[in-house]
Amino acid sequence: MIRLLLTYLRPYRRPLAIVMVLVTIQAIANLYLPNLNADIINNGVVKGDTNYIIRIGGIMLLITLLLSVCAIIAVYYGSRTAMAFGRDVRSAIFRRVMSFSQRETNVFGTPSLITRNTNDVQQVQMVLVMAFNVMIIAPIMCVGGVIMALREDVPLSALLIVVVPLVIIVIGILATRALPLFRSVQKRTDRINQVMRETLSGVRVIRAFVRTQHEEVRFDQANRDLTDTSLRVNRLFAMMIPFLFGVMNLSTVAIVWFGAERIDAGMPIGNLSAFLQYMMQILFAVMMAALMFVMVPRAAAAAERIQQVLDSEAELCDPDVPTELPDPHGLVEFDNVEFGYPGAEEPVLCGISFSARPGKTTAIVGSTGSGKTTLVNLIPRFYDVTAGSVRVDGVDVRQMRQEDLWQLMGMVPQKAFLFSGTVASNLRYGDEKASDDELWKALDIAQAREFVSEMPGELEAEIDQGGTNVSGGQRQRLAIARAVVKKPKVFIFDDSFSALDFKTDQQLRAALRHEIAGATVIIVAQRVGTILHADQIVVLDGGSVAGIGTHAELMKSCETYKEIVYSQLTQEEVA
């Protein structure tokens, strides 16, 4: 937690210095007020000097006014600094997560990353807001109160030797026991977010399989786990406030009791009043620190989780000296590529070698689990090969800046995803400067003009998060149009036509062949009937290449391809 604070509070040293000065002034003023109060009693009340009472009382009012002004300014700067800290940490987490490969994302899990960037940051932020006004003033008040109490009466100050260590020991024990529980609270918060996210995302599947009750039980279990752990923490700290108030009240009784004997011995009554106020200030400072200790363990656990994300190095990073392509063409080459997921016993892909050339369409087919999607994910370097190389225009993708590589790609994934906004904002995700005419042309190519024209607002029609207000086929066509707007050198369609009917599929492919004739097109397909005329078909079987060639060549030489074709088409359709 200290490392996180030092790193992200460094730019705010000036407002922090202002807060520390103002809080110190408050502490000194608070310590001075009991002394003035003692003077009023000893020199004003006892002697009946009204003018003295009015004069010293006026000074006390001015000091109180100064305290109010300092407190307002300190809270203002403290709150601004805490909010700025939270903003910077959230931004740092987001940027770090954006640099993660799929491997790092899977290690943490999406629900946990969301929790760390929201709930965890908020926990640290709340502690900072209090810390700037409590943790700075509490030690000054505690130490200063002890010194001032000793000035008033040394024998009576012996009570401090018993009271203060007792309170500190109890708070320390509670905080030590609470820290592991707070870590557990954060993990259970992750779990409840995970269950909620899965339920919302899979609500149709849950209803279709009549598993609503099962999901309710699963959520209730996660909810109970979080509640039980939170209750265990709260039970620990439920004892703290009564204990502190008990100590405060007993200390007051003890001070009055032993103070009466000290007054008999000649101690001025004003000094006893001041001593009582200093004891209350000391205990109040300890109480404020105790309230901080209620929050600090949880914030420490949250900061630890945040630091884990910030310390995680992305597995995929840019080379120190990247290679640039001054005139890219889009030639994609696989050279004896092997890939295995971390922890897997066997590689998913093995010995993959072929080339996808500009102006040509390369189709990749194979049975489920043969590695088709994994293969195309190696091109934009979503994963790094474990052996061999993937090259674009003769340059290994690992030797290029990732953004330069991505700039060459127009990828439409299996699950088309749209962002909340409008049709136009989604299409311009590929090119922010694209004109309306270019957007309509891309929609024409993707066979999406008709349904977009019928939407209220046309290009300015609203799209919900994830594209939930359009059908699956419409979502796919908008995703394809988005890739066309980008005008990349390499198009990657990962089973992106599965939601289209055959007529729309044929029209879309014909338009693509005509409009993007100079680009490299790589298509992962399940329906072989739609890629029979591809310039090159790569057949995968069990992670290896079973055959490469045109449809006619593969029908003669590749049994795996023939099995796939005849499982979908009749001999008449093939002919």
Q: What distance in Å separates the CA atoms of residue 467 and residue 425, rounded to the nearest whole number?
A: 12
- At residue 521, what are phi and psi to the nearest 5 degrees? -120, 125
pLDDT of 418:
83
> How would you class 368 by CB atoms within 10 Å of its CB: exposed for 0-12, middle for 13-18, buried for 19 or more?
exposed
Closest Cα to residue 260, out of 164, 153, 337? 153
**Contact call for residues 484 and 445 (beta carbons, < 8 A):** yes
- The yes-or-no verdict on residue 572 having pLDDT over 60 is no
- At residue 305, what are phi and psi to the nearest 5 degrees? -70, -40
- The yes-or-no verdict on residue 215 having pLDDT over 70 is yes
- At residue 387, what are phi and psi to the nearest 5 degrees? -160, 155
Residue 291 tokens, joined: 């309230």
* DSSP annotation string for 208-255: HTT-HHHHHHHHHHHHHHHHHHHHHHHHHHHTHHHHHHHHHHHHHHHH
* Confidence tier at 574 by pLDDT (50, 70, 90): low
Q: Which domains does the chain have, with CATH numbers?
A: 9-311 (1.20.1560.10), 332-574 (3.40.50.300)
Of residues 249 and 102, the one with the higher pLDDT is 249
Q: What distance in Å separates the CA atoms of residue 340 and residue 384, rounded to the nearest whole number?
A: 10
**Contact call for residues 364 and 375 (beta carbons, < 8 A):** yes
Most confident of 55-59, 128-132, 344-348: 55-59
CA quadruple 98, 102, 104, 110: dihedral positive or negative? positive
**447 Cβ contact partners less than 8 Å away, ≥ 6 residues apart:** 477, 500, 504, 507, 508, 511
Most confident of 112-121, 130-139, 170-179, 510-519: 112-121
Q: What distance in Å separates the CA atoms of residue 322 and residue 316, rounded to the nearest whole number?
A: 13
Closest Cα to residue 336, out of 392, 374, 376, 390? 390
* Confidence tier at 208 by pLDDT (50, 70, 90): confident
pLDDT of 12:
83
Q: What distance in Å separates the CA atoms of residue 137 and residue 285, rounded to the nearest whole number?
A: 8
Q: What distance in Å separates the CA atoms of residue 363 and residue 155, rounded to the nearest whole number?
A: 92
pLDDT of 415:
81
Question: Could you tell me the pTM of the whole model?
Answer: 0.69
Q: What SS3 class is residue 538?
A: strand
- The yes-or-no verdict on residue 301 having pLDDT over 60 is yes
Closest Cα to residue 174, out of 249, 244, 250? 244
CA quadruple 303, 309, 312, 313: dihedral positive or negative? negative
Q: What is the pLDDT of residues 10-65, one digit of tens each?
A: 888 888 888 888 888 888 888 888 888 877 887 766 666 778 788 888 888 898 89
Q: What is the pLDDT of residues 390-412, one digit of tens each?
A: 989 888 888 888 888 888 888 88
* Apex 354 CA angle, 351 and 358, nearest 5: 155
